[in-house]
Amino acid sequence: MQFSSYAKTLAAALSLAVVAGCSSGGGTQDGDQQNAGMNSGSSTQGMSSSSGASGQGTGQQAQMPSENRVYFDFDSDSIRPQYESMLNQHAQYLQRNSSTNIVLEGHTDPRGTREYNLGLGERRANAVRQYLTIQGVPASQIEVVSYGEERPAASGNSEQAYAQDRRVVIDY
């Protein structure tokens, strides 16, 4: 009798351990959502302080460029001249705010192999990095990451959707 109740208790404890172990895998996604919420909250905070209505803004936050995407031609890592002005604004902001770091996220459309697209995304992000460093931004403020085709901006298989996917996102 005692052995049977001991076995039942042990089985229940093991079942709880298994369930607890399985649920901890989902915690990563919840943590990502919380981090995303923190990032969006800091963006909102930055926007409210830049509006000047609260009077708490530092003044430098208001100068952060609002545009943060550089689009590329098919199979190209050359920065189009139309984005130079925007990149110059980012360079000026980063020089004035030396404690601010950015991540340059390179993306591609789904055409090409996964390996090729990861390389192309990295080349695109490095092209933006090189442009910013030439403008005087220390390389230590810039991190480069390539997502290749893994994070499309648009769904569909049209040239318009592909054009939105070929980008570098500047993430503060």
DSSP state of 76: -
The number of distinct structural domains making up the chain is 2
Q: Are residues 29 and 86 in the same domain?
A: no
Is 83 in the same domain as 134? Answer: yes
Considering the domain architecture, whether residues 117 and 87 belong to the same structural domain is answered as yes
Residue 117: is its pLDDT beyond 80? yes
Q: Which domain holds residue 7?
A: 1-55
Pair (12, 89) in one structural domain = no
Q: Are residues 113 and 130 in the same domain?
A: yes
**42, pLDDT greater than 80:** no
Whole-angstrom Cα distance, residue 74 to residue 108?
9
**Residue 119's domain is classified under what CATH number?**
3.30.1330.60
Q: Residue 164: phi, psi to the nearest 5?
A: -75, -25
Once rounded to an integer, what is the mean pLDDT over residues 7-12? 56
The pLDDT tens digits of the residues spanning 76-91 come to 999 999 999 999 999 9
Q: Are residues 45 and 107 in the same domain?
A: no
